[in-house]
Amino acid sequence: MTACQFKPASPMSFLDYLAVLLTCITGLVLFGAFYFLELGLNPFQPEQISLACTGDPTEMMVTWVTFSPTVNPTVEYNVHGEPLRFNAAGTMTKFKDGGWLHRVLYIHRTKLTGLKPDQSYDYRCGGDDLWSEMYTFKTLRSGEDWSPRIALYGDMGTDGQSLSLLTSEALNGNFDVILHVGDFAYNMDSDNARIGDKFMNQIQPIAARIPYMTCPGNHETAYNFSNYKNRFSMPSDDMFYSWNIGPAHIISISTEFYFFYREYGSEQIANQYKWLEADLKEATKKSNRAKRPWIITMGHRPMYCSNADGDDCTQNESKVRTGLNSKYGLEDLFYKYGVDLMVWAHEHSYERLYPVYNRKLCRSPLENAYINPCAPVHIITGSAGCKEHHDAFKPKYGPWTAYRALDYGYTRMKIHNKTHLYMEQVSVDKGGKIIDNVWITKHHHGPGAWIIPMK
Ligand SMILES: *[C@@H]1O[C@H](CO)[C@@H](O)[C@H](O)[C@H]1NC(C)=O
Ligand SMILES: *[C@@H]1O[C@H](CO)[C@@H](O)[C@H](O)[C@H]1NC(C)=O
Ligand SMILES: *[C@@H]1O[C@H](CO)[C@@H](O)[C@H](O)[C@H]1NC(C)=O
């Protein structure tokens, strides 16, 4: 609104003043129209498109946003290269953000079904004659005998540190699925949820092509995680769910229940715990585990870490690990069912741990710690970006810390088969260089492989 700083060279007449006043009023009205009413935006244009797996390789969930209601939300699709002859109707929900503008987003969801596994499809979404650009995705392969390639990271924000490398990897088809381990936009509710829109549009080149699987972080807490819950469409409940990919069973949880129970109810801790135990029981039934021996969990806040910020994971008895008043601790539960790998974020750094249980290493010396590990392995991959920069490390760390780095970046994981899983850490600061890698080799999965007695 530079018009208000207009300085006349000669004494101003009444008309000059009037002109300045009118310019200022016009400026304010225009600003208001663009800012509050969001003129200039086509409210029917689909945006913020993202895909999600349902756990069934013949299905794909498509989610998108418009700012005016769509009468016939639709996805048009066909196998790659063919005219978009098929269409699938979707549902629309009205989401009102909790900010003072109470902005309304129309969230559209369409589940494509009856797809061929391991097949590329072209699609566009929209309806009422207004369509998104065309995107291509590939359905997951069916069965267990293939090698999923997965990107893992948390704490990304809208500052773009890892975005361009991840986007080019997505365009090159380097990943079958993305796991974003909480903390999306800093925050999705900020600026009346416009930061959420910005984030979802920034990841669209990735998420419209590759299923984008999530769990909530502490930056999603506003209005009972409503931006998070509305903007993503995870299988069953966005807060906790599980699904299968190749030889792995992946469980996504909310660690945030352990920190925001005063605001949003402590019963959610118990509900999730109960669900988790039932899910783990099912996944570890002999026939299921034989097919999908890898059980991998993702949750935002780690059980262990060596950062100098006093967070829960720096405490000897972290809440996530040991629970509240020794109830609902997750370490014992995961140990009992032989969870192989736990993926965390929250700390703006990367840290790989040796197999550890109850603050004890299960084997020494540490050479070959990852060949038939005698306890679960943890990694913390929360360095994708964000405006809060890095979380420095304490000089002293527990004997379970194997490697740590403050570089921005993300993790690539490839689950080669039932016995071999590979992970490597990409440093964005070093132009994509691999700064850490590990092979986990397991000939036995399940608690039978552990050696420390349960406490
Ligand atoms: C918050 O949302 C969850 C569902 O995700 C619900 O079970 C809980 O009751 C809500 N809490 C409050 C205080 O509204
Ligand atoms: C945590 O445990 C270590 C080693 O047992 C001990 O030296 C330290 O004082 C403990 N810290 C707290 C805060 O209890
Ligand atoms: C599993 O993958 C590893 C690494 O690619 C390979 O060396 C091994 O032979 C594979 N095992 C089987 C049974 O295919």
> 452 CA to middle of ligand 2, Å?
20
Nearest ligand 3 atom, CA 416: 2
> 141 CA to middle of ligand 2, Å?
47
Out of 294, 420, 422, mutate this one to test ligand 3's pocket (max ligand atoms within 8 Å of CB): namely: 420
At residue 124, φ and ψ (nearest 5 deg) are: -145, 155
Cα separation, 198 vs 64, in Å, equals: 13
Residue nearest atom 12 of ligand 3, based on CA coordinates: 417
Ligand positioned closest to the Cα atom of 358:
2
Per-domain residue ranges for the chain?
A: 47-138, 143-450
For ligand 1, is residue 224 a contact (CB within 6 Å)? yes
> 264 CA to middle of ligand 1, Å?
6
For ligand 3, is residue 420 a contact (CB within 6 Å)? yes
For ligand 1, is residue 239 a contact (CB within 6 Å)? yes
Q: Tell me the CATH architecture of domain 143-450.
A: 4-Layer Sandwich (3.60)
For ligand 3, is residue 147 a contact (CB within 6 Å)? no
Helical spans, DSSP H, in 212-260: 222-231
> 9 CA to middle of ligand 1, Å?
62
> 408 CA to middle of ligand 1, Å?
34
Out of 268, 269, 271, 274, mutate this one to test ligand 1's pocket (max ligand atoms within 8 Å of CB): namely: 268
Residue nearest atom 14 of ligand 1, based on CA coordinates: 264
> 332 CA to middle of ligand 2, Å?
20
Rg, the chain, Cα only = 24
Q: What's the whole-model pTM score?
A: 0.94
**Sign of dihedral through CA atoms 149, 426, 172, 206?**
positive
291, with CB counted inside 10 A (0-12, 13-18, 19+), is middle
pLDDT truncated to tens, each residue of the chain (455 aa)?
445 555 556 677 888 888 888 888 888 887 777 776 676 678 999 999 999 999 999 999 999 999 999 999 999 999 999 999 999 999 999 999 999 999 999 999 999 999 999 999 999 999 988 999 999 999 999 999 999 999 999 999 999 899 999 999 999 999 999 999 999 999 999 999 999 999 999 999 999 999 999 999 999 999 999 999 999 999 999 999 999 999 999 999 999 999 999 999 999 999 999 999 999 999 999 999 999 999 999 999 999 999 999 999 999 999 999 999 999 999 999 999 999 999 999 999 999 999 999 999 998 878 899 999 999 999 999 999 988 889 999 999 999 999 999 999 999 999 999 999 999 999 999 999 999 999 999 999 999 999 998 87
Residue nearest atom 6 of ligand 3, based on CA coordinates: 420
pLDDT score at 9: 63
Q: How far is CA 82 from the centre of its chain?
A: 32
At residue 345, φ and ψ (nearest 5 deg) are: -145, -125
> 417 CA to middle of ligand 3, Å?
6
Ligand positioned closest to the Cα atom of 262:
1
pLDDT score at 6: 55
Cα separation, 284 vs 280, in Å, equals: 6
Query: What DSSP letter does each residue of 124-169 carry, written as one string?
Result: EEEETTEE---EEEEPPPPSS-S--EEEEE----SS-TTHHHHHHH
For the domain made up of 47-138, give the CATH fold.
Immunoglobulin-like (2.60.40)
